[in-house]
A and B are shown apart, each in its own frame.
Chain A
């Protein structure tokens, strides 16, 4: 279970998150919607421990552990995965070496031996097929020369390899055509286990049609101003955010 209480965070001295409280129980999918600049990406970056953001107030606990005291890599080992809005290209580091390093780091954290090379490659093949990721891409440098859609599929592929228990999808739908969106969303659904939970950050209803959130939050100016069921996302798709702003007196 993820529990965020009264979270305040800033970047370069500018406060972006102004008191967020949010609880995601095991097995739940939460959607976070909101306009550009509302703080959605800041929220996801703070959860995974991006060093550019400073938490000035509040707490985040994850399965009763103080998440804010853990390094980014330790949070990853604890099962938290961020699908980046803009996946980073790393020329010269092959996907195979990258994934092997990541997987074995997690195994080491869990007190396990590194995975034998044969098993690892077999696992790569198996997981690749879930997101229909070309084997050629898997042999290239991380994200280098990948199209927008391939980068997002590669994020879900990595998720498949690392089997997180909390996945944050940060605008995974941006830059995707409808077919790619379907592949990514279906891949995500196939990988979900009953106990795993997710936070889905998006502007649009389309991705949520696939992912079926249990709870929808609206984030405006660093605060959650409205929370509802999946019908809230539909209403936002039809009416926009203005009515929520008015309701909240903003």
Chain B
């Protein structure tokens, strides 16, 4: 409870300030979240979905807590929650797991919420880009909240990037809720390119209606400590989800992805591919559960986690899980952890490619499979370049960013 206490005390001091800066829908959820967080504190590693995280340690630094509303011009179809349509606003905190104390902490401290609302039948031509830029001289924690509502037959690409513009210690506790109504299509990309002093807790919750399609890609290119949770509830018949991850970590970086694909309706499909390249003393974890409920017949599901540990000191924990309560399904799951292919390295060196370059080519080749699945061509091309730069150690944090 030690780390939790500072947040409880802080909330006690500022609850009125937060409430004044917020709107009714957000305030309505706050006290219940406070109760949940006060009662539970931070989850220990005994809690199944936090087995690989060090939550207490991650939240214990004495962060200044940001209570500022959203800043900057909003892209099309994006709103401050107070300005969003009531039918979108009421979905706030209806999809997230309110019993989770990390989510509760976000609900308790979040001041503003970005609502992305794409109305029925609208196909958004250009990708909606949401840039999160961590900036400031003080160690800071931000509680970021996004609510995406895709009405019937709506289509959009959303790119969410995390960057850090100053070398302070940052903690991001983000919750994204996504409601996808029938026949909607969403490509959701999350790209983290921060620095070693950044910690990110991200919890993404998705509800999918009939014949809706979600393509989610989570890219961790540079970070400190990252813990991503993704819960996708396939509630409507015929809905499909692709959930992929591309993780590159070295030094002392830590990346933990924890996913749940919950097949609640028949004839749904899920595809999951997470690939990690770990170097130096990096630690990776992947725990992914695919749950096929009774009645979710004709489910097709595939879950793969493949990992490359380039050094003997890099560590990977992998736990693919499959729970099936229906009898007419096609499901597979698996994971691999491998080392550098020494035969391939030597083959390349014999052709004159030096060892460092050969290693880099092998790492890039391994991770390319995930990048290739990205539907948005311009992003795919850019990511190929970014991955190459990242592996060469040339990634400049703010490159391509127009805001700073």
Contact of B355 among A73, A75, A88 (CB under 8 A): A73
B369 lies within 8 A of A73 (CB): no
Contact of B351 among A91, A92, A158 (CB under 8 A): A158
B342 to chain A, nearest CB (A): 8
Encode A86-122 as 1/0 by CB contact (under 8 A) with B: 0111111100011001110110010000000000000
A231 to chain B, nearest CB (A): 33
A105 lies within 8 A of B365 (CB): no
Q: Does A9 contact B (CB under 8 A)?
A: no
CB neighbors of A among B360-391 (8 A): 361-362, 364-366, 368-369
Contact of B352 among A77, A90, A93 (CB under 8 A): A77
Encode B341-366 as 1/0 by CB contact (under 8 A) with A: 10110111111111101000110111
Contact of A105 among B341, B354, B362, B369 (CB under 8 A): B354
Q: Contacts A51-B346, A90-B344, A90-B348; is A98 near B354 (CB within 8 Å)? A: no
Question: Total A-B pairs in contact (CB under 8 Å)?
Answer: 76
Q: Does A19 contact B (CB under 8 A)?
A: no
Encode A38-82 as 1/0 by CB contact (under 8 A) with B: 000000000011110000000000000000000111011100011
A48 lies within 8 A of B347 (CB): no
B391 to chain A, nearest CB (A): 13
- Of the candidates B346, B348, B351, the one having the most CB atoms from chain A within 10 angstroms of its own CB is B351
A102 lies within 8 A of B352 (CB): yes
Chain B residues near A232: list those with CB within 8 A: none
Contact of B350 among A76, A89, A92, A142 (CB under 8 A): A76
A88 to chain B, nearest CB (A): 4
B353 lies within 8 A of A92 (CB): no
Chain B residues near A241: list those with CB within 8 A: none
A98 lies within 8 A of B351 (CB): yes
A48 lies within 8 A of B350 (CB): yes
Q: How large is the interface on A (under 10, 10 to 19, 20 to 34, 35 or more residues)?
A: 20 to 34
A73 lies within 8 A of B353 (CB): yes
B128 to chain A, nearest CB (A): 31
A120 to chain B, nearest CB (A): 15
A82 and chain B: residue at smallest CB distance: B350
Chain B residues near A92: list those with CB within 8 A: 362, 364-366, 368-369
Chain A residues near B347: list those with CB within 8 A: 84, 87-88, 90, 142
Q: Does A215 contact B (CB under 8 A)?
A: no
Contact of B344 among A71, A75, A88 (CB under 8 A): A88
User: In the bound complex, what is the Cα–Cα distance between A92 and B366 (angstroms)?
Assistant: 6
- Of the candidates A72, A91, A158, the one having the most CB atoms from chain B within 10 angstroms of its own CB is A72
B349 to chain A, nearest CB (A): 4
B353 lies within 8 A of A102 (CB): yes
A148 to chain B, nearest CB (A): 16
B354 lies within 8 A of A90 (CB): no
Chain A residues near B366: list those with CB within 8 A: 92
Q: Does A236 contact B (CB under 8 A)?
A: no
User: In the bound complex, what is the Cα–Cα distance between A210 and B366 (angstroms)?
Assistant: 40
User: In the bound complex, what is the Cα–Cα distance between A187 and B255 (angstroms)?
Assistant: 50
B354 to chain A, nearest CB (A): 5
A76 lies within 8 A of B343 (CB): no
CB neighbors of A among B144-166 (8 A): none
Chain A residues near B364: list those with CB within 8 A: 92-93
- Of the candidates A50, A51, A90, A103, the one having the most CB atoms from chain B within 10 angstroms of its own CB is A90
B346 lies within 8 A of A93 (CB): no
User: In the bound complex, what is the Cα–Cα distance between A48 and B341 (angstroms)?
Assistant: 18
- Of the candidates A49, A92, A106, A162, the one having the most CB atoms from chain B within 10 angstroms of its own CB is A92
A79 to chain B, nearest CB (A): 10
Contact sample, A vs B, 17 pairs, CB 8 Å cutoff? A71-B349, A72-B350, A73-B352, A76-B349, A77-B352, A88-B346, A90-B341, A90-B361, A92-B364, A92-B365, A93-B362, A101-B361, A103-B352, A105-B353, A141-B365, A142-B347, A158-B351
Interface residues of B (CB under 8 A from A): 341, 343-344, 346-355, 357, 361-362, 364-366, 368-369
Besides A93-B361, A101-B348, A103-B352, 10 more A-B contacts (Cβ < 8 Å) are: A73-B355, A76-B351, A84-B347, A84-B350, A88-B343, A90-B341, A93-B364, A97-B361, A102-B348, A102-B352
